[in-house]
Chain A
Amino acid sequence: MLKVEKVCAGYGRMQILHDVDLTLGEGEIVALVGANGAGKTTTLRAVCGQIRPTAGTITFDGAPTLGRRPDELVRDGLVHVPEDRALFGTLTVEENLRMGAWTRSHAQAETALREVLELFPVLAERRGQVAQTFSGGQQQMLAIGRALMAGPRLLMLDEPSTGLSPKLTWAMLEAIERIRDGGVSVLLVEQNAKQALAIADRAYVLESGSTVLHGTGAELAGSAEVRKAYLGL
């Protein structure tokens, strides 16, 4: 459903992505791993429309995304959760979640709200609390919950384990698997490659702005060369 071909992108005159290729099918969890500065975040930003690729093509459901803004792509079901989470800090949990369903009908929003509160019970307990008072883990759940409110078909998560304890990280990964089982494809960027590969169906390794390796999660996690060269395991 997502196809990224020979994409180059960057900020101003600084080119970050040189040649990124990846594909993602319905119901897959695809992980994007690599060292700091390899271009993982930039790839997601190019896909969601926050930055415009200078070359190459990105298609979502066969339609090119070039020149479309993030808010337009959300309507098509492509939802991005950035690393900084971009929550509405002064709004309550419930307001954050309801804003997540901005593009949807009232009835759809109500259904989605029930599902999200079921998936993350802590959000239900604190629905009246202002988001900026949340801890890192709670904020991450809220960010993913808010993204789910939009009814995504492809969810892109940038470092969802940032700031989480190891225990919470595993809970988060389990939640991501459950989201996938609910019919949402996931493109996952992780610094922590070991955990990402554990739940990914397939994975790409990025190095210096290019996709250099590709395989199933298990293959990449099992390859000694990969572990040593790219994953620091």
Chain B
Amino acid sequence: MSNIGNQKGAALAPDAEAPGAASPRGKAPHPLRAALGGGGNAAILKRVAIIGGALVIAIAVALLKSGSGLVVWQSVVTGLLMGGLYGLIAMGLTLIFGVLDIVNFAHGALLAVAMFIAFGVVQGTGLHPYLTLLVAVPALFLIGGVVHRGLLSGTGGGSLENQLLITLGLSLLLENGLLMFFGAEPKTVTLPGDFQFGLFGAVVTGARLYAFVGALLLGALLFWLLRRTRFGTAIRAVAANGPGAELVGINVRRIHTLTFAIGTACAGAAAVLAAPLITVTPTLGEQFNITAFVVVVLGGMGNVGGALVGGLLIGLVEQLTTIYMDGQSSLLGVFVVFVVVLFLRPQGLFGRRA
């Protein structure tokens, strides 16, 4: 996935001749390179090597600390499985940022709304939890569209401060609305016929596996939409150059609304997949929101493919932190990684230098 957005209008300045000669003639960029946001093959290898090296060290330290290979292995497995969901949530968030330049602080609260929709439908109709995807995803798509049209696309949504206040206010409103309707007591969504199996000693539940596979499939679907369809190309065109998109006849406001709706629907899908794994509370969106923001920055703001990889990494970091900290504060490690990345590579692991 190419970087959506974070190089708007860059490099199109009229320069005399020739930089074209520097790039491979008549060749599409390598898909992996496009996915990782550019740079040469060597640069990508170097990045992968650095990330891989850091992971190896992190795992080795975890081994020393816990003294048990099995514990570490279980963390790695759980971390990766959870990371798929983080990736899906962050893909929606980064898509919205990349195309609309909106930092959506209500993303987590919208996710909570979807989770309560799933909970409510399961409670009310006895539907299989995963079948609530058919309700929650369209519902969140609609809510996303309405939020954009109603709150963000007018003149009020123009400036960064306004967007921040509007989305933050919306998230408070949604959380407290959920609190009012559903009460504060935690709810659970149980997956009928859930099972467990061993993966080289680690315990994997069916719900986790399904969530992971579902997140990857939906991520791939989003990828396909953006890369292979005319509509997806239009979304990338709007991200690359909004005025240019208008000049070829694209209704930019409509693309913005649909993109916001799709990004919100990603949170909706992730919510349904995550519902059997966690206790459902009105404020659960906050933590997902924070994690998703870290993932978005890690993957490069606006980089949809980077968000998926970033999600897996953050899932791992979170689980390994619980080993380092003896089960306390899994978010601490996430923030350490966040700060280090912001310090050393603010454009994200896979972002392009601005």
Contact = CB atoms under 8 A, between A and B. Distances in A.
Contact of B241 (A80, A86, A130, A163): A86
A99 B12 contact: no
Given A87-B244, A134-B20, A135-B16, A74 B249 contact: yes
Contact of A128 (B20, B28, B252): B28
Nearest to B11: A132
A140 B13 CA distance: 11
A36 interface: no
A40 interface: no
Contact of A129 (B16, B26, B233, B249): B26
Contacts of B17: 135-137, 165
A144 to B, nearest CB: 12
B326 to A, nearest CB: 45
Interface string B250-263: 11100000000000
Nearest to B236: A91
Given A71-B250, A150-B249, A165 B7 contact: no
A138 B20 contact: yes
Given A90-B7, A90-B240, A126-B25, A135 B18 contact: yes
A158 to B, nearest CB: 11
A146 interface: yes
Interface string B211-242: 00000000000000000001001101101110
Nearest to B254: A71
Interface string A115-150: 000000000011111111111111110000011011
Contact of B22 (A81, A85, A133, A136): A133
A140 B237 CA distance: 17
Contacts of A140: 14
Given A87-B12, A138-B20, A70 B247 contact: yes
Contacts of A178: none
B19 interface: yes
Contacts of A79: 247
Residue among B14, B19, B246, B249 with the highest chain A CB neighbour number at 10 A? B249
B37 to A, nearest CB: 10
A163 B20 CA distance: 14
A48 interface: yes
A195 interface: no
B16 A88 contact: no
A150 B233 contact: no
B29 interface: yes
Chain B facing A: main interface SS: loop
Contacts of B252: 71
Nearest to A106: B230
A133 B13 CA distance: 11
Contact of B248 (A90, A127, A146): A146
A89 interface: yes
Contacts of B251: 69, 71
Contacts of B12: 84-87, 89, 131-132, 139
Given A74-B249, A129-B25, A162-B14, A135 B244 contact: no
A104 B230 CA distance: 12
Contacts of A48: 247
B236 A88 contact: yes
A99 B238 CA distance: 10
B10 interface: yes
Contact of B250 (A81, A85, A87, A99): A99
Interface of B: 2-4, 7, 9-29, 230, 233-234, 236-237, 239-241, 243-252
Which 6 A-B residue pairs are closest in the complex by CB-CB distance?
A163-B14, A86-B244, A74-B249, A103-B249, A132-B11, A128-B28
10 contacts: A69-B251, A71-B251, A82-B247, A88-B237, A88-B245, A89-B12, A90-B239, A126-B26, A129-B27, A139-B12
